[in-house]
Structure 1
């Protein structure tokens, strides 16, 4: 059997705190792309996996969704976390494979199609104005991540689902606990039981919401999910709750991370900030560049269904691979000067939304929100600078700046 190559640098993928220091993280990823683009990772607390760091290899694996499946290990968690998810029966879109994935995805697809996005544009622009106005009221200093960036996309996706505004705070808290389960500030506790409590609370909430929407259907996304049928049969309770959960949580946390990270990037690259402010026509390209720069979803996992190879490295059936989107989006073979923020980067072949059949369902909405927010903010932003050190979420899955203290002047 060919010896598995394990480069020490690949341990970053199973080190949540590695994502809190972007400089050191990218040093490790740059080294891996050049020296061990397919590296075995076997560290205490995690089931072993292969780390994939090159853009082309990530794309190839994403394309072949029958060879590399999402089930049974779609995200990197500890061995205990893997067992916990399977015991609870979590079955979101990211846990599913075709044909089930295709059928279930269709339930929400119409809500994110171009026509639906055009209809939603006015409301998103209105919410962008409201939250920039709130930012003005908070000035001259605020924690941009926690006081501004988390709230705007939260309002958008919760309104789409039909969740009452009184519950927005609860949804934010539970989402931060779920995605921040490796972060000392956000995690609910240290035991598996304590950390599973957030997920169980989400399930309890959406169980009640589903029952309400089935008894009294409305015109929101939660009602569409609750009353959906596949081949004439309603979704199971666990599938309904899982669908609500992934929309509610991922539908705002990833976008807020990009808005926070995008603001930080503009502060750190004042030439690009001024360039964009002087030409808002660049905003669609700048939006894509912010998404590439932040890459809020750090990685997904896939499992090989038969023996294969990646870049000549044997991968056995049943072994898992980690697709590092963060690394792929800095691949020197794909992006010119990848560590330079360029608000006019074109083409921009980032894969922050994934690729293939599992391409992010809410990508169009995320793009719209980022575009709308900065289109509203930049003409009014007279000055901005850091008022303290940014802090990042410790994670192996979704994250970005969790605190971004800034000092600014807004008209």
Structure 2
């Protein structure tokens, strides 16, 4: 099993990643994967070990990078971007953004979010095939774009660019020059865009998230231009990974089934049902850490400097934690899934994602019925983002 190529993005679009994870959990829960002559990583597939690795930032640092695609190469944003900064600097830098994205603050945006959701779902009532996957890829930008104060005319372009950044292996989002050229071009355009926008916003501060980043002080200073831009990028990337894929996973796998009928008939179960959708999809497939010192996990020595990959999709189906883990249960409780991570780097935008996904399913089942597949769903080709890019369905508008 250790020979399985867990880096291969096609494993998660057309392979049996869940079967591989299941066998790894049954064997010993920790295994070494050699990538080439100079690179390798430890795979963590059990819930308890994933929880340990993500909570203990002193032993498992994020500052060298958090994505397998950067394995063996230190992330240039380390120490600047929230996702690749460890406590205590991470804690201080995140404080104002965390407050701006707290449940109460985001809840005030609920009806704005509802309006965006209703608009995106409107074509579903036409009787024609509706690509739910494409609509959901646009959803996070319509919400986060509003909260960041980004011009609506830029949303579609920004949505595609951020999808490119998490799925550059997917031919649908890849430029002719190949993966590396695609990523370089997308990063160059995104960072240039936010540099220009930041210069303008500095003279026109508002109550949006970009203004929060610009006006935040830590360590006795404001963030530098490169820090602000890096964190704008991180916010958009986080939204594009977490928000669309719980809905697309559910519609791709349960349209026309008794599971969907049960949820539609019992709106009072919405809060536990969408948490189950988050567990089921586990939109962030993995997170990478590096050991800062020699340590022991599951009786095995991990040396200082070793890369450690925690597979959230595996942890969220750990049989020791989730009863009938391979069953989608809209009433599952408790449901302490790790879809948003855990510990210091628990997703700062989790409230936005939860409220958006909750409102999405409220409106979907309140407005439409008789859901049927209208074609074969297509998975996003990525080893980082777990989700579907195309989910063709039909439905009838409720009377």
Q: TM-score range by the shorter chain?
A: over 0.9
Residue 397 of structure 1 deviates from its aligned partner by 1.2
Partner Cα distance (2:345, 2:171) in 1: 31
Aligned partner of 2:49 in structure 1 is 57
Of the three residues 298, 317, 325, the one matched with 1:338 is 325
Aligned partner of 2:337 in structure 1 is 350
Secondary structure, counterpart of 1:33 in structure 2: helix
Partner Cα distance (1:229, 1:29) in 2: 43
Aligned partner of 2:235 in structure 1 is 247
Secondary structure, counterpart of 2:12 in structure 1: helix
Residue 156 of structure 1 deviates from its aligned partner by 0.7
User: Do structure 1's residue 407 and structure 2's residue 394 form an aligned pair?
Assistant: yes
Evaluate the alpha carbon distance shift between residue 90 and residue 197 of structure 1 in structure 2; reply closer, same or farther with a 3 A threshold: farther
Aligned partner of 1:294 in structure 2 is 281
Secondary structure, counterpart of 2:69 in structure 1: coil
CA shift digits 1:331-365 (9 cap, x unpaired): 11111111111111111121010001111111111
Of the three residues 185, 200, 204, the one matched with 1:216 is 204
Greater alpha carbon shift after TM alignment, 197-206 vs 255-264: 255-264
Partner Cα distance (1:63, 1:213) in 2: 35
Of the three residues 140, 148, 171, the one matched with 2:158 is 171
User: Structure 1 stretches of 5 or more lacking a match?
Assistant: 1-5
Partner Cα distance (2:272, 2:139) in 1: 21
Aligned partner of 2:87 in structure 1 is 98
- Count of residues paired in the alignment: 397
CA contact (8 A) 2:65 2:78 kept: no
Evaluate the alpha carbon distance shift between residue 228 and residue 78 of structure 1 in structure 2; reply closer, same or farther with a 3 A threshold: closer
Secondary structure, counterpart of 1:351 in structure 2: coil
CA contact (8 A) 1:157 1:252 kept: no
Evaluate the alpha carbon distance shift between residue 194 and residue 365 of structure 1 in structure 2; reply closer, same or farther with a 3 A threshold: closer
CA contact (8 A) 1:90 1:238 kept: no
Matches within 5 A, 1:112-191: 112-137=101-126, 139-146=127-134, 148-188=135-175, 189-190=177-178
If the length of structure 2 is used for normalisation, what is the TM-score? 0.94
CA contact (8 A) 1:254 1:399 kept: no
Of the three residues 228, 238, 246, the one matched with 2:226 is 238
User: Structure 2 stretches of 5 or more lacking a match?
Assistant: none
- RMSD over equivalenced CA pairs, Å: 1.9
Matches within 5 A, 1:318-337: 318-337=305-324
CA shift digits 1:51-110 (9 cap, x unpaired): 000001101112211111111021111558x36x43x77942111101221122113112
Residue 254 of structure 1 deviates from its aligned partner by 2.1
Partner Cα distance (1:337, 1:45) in 2: 40
Residue 381 of structure 1 deviates from its aligned partner by 2.2
Partner Cα distance (1:79, 1:341) in 2: 33
Partner Cα distance (2:330, 2:78) in 1: 42
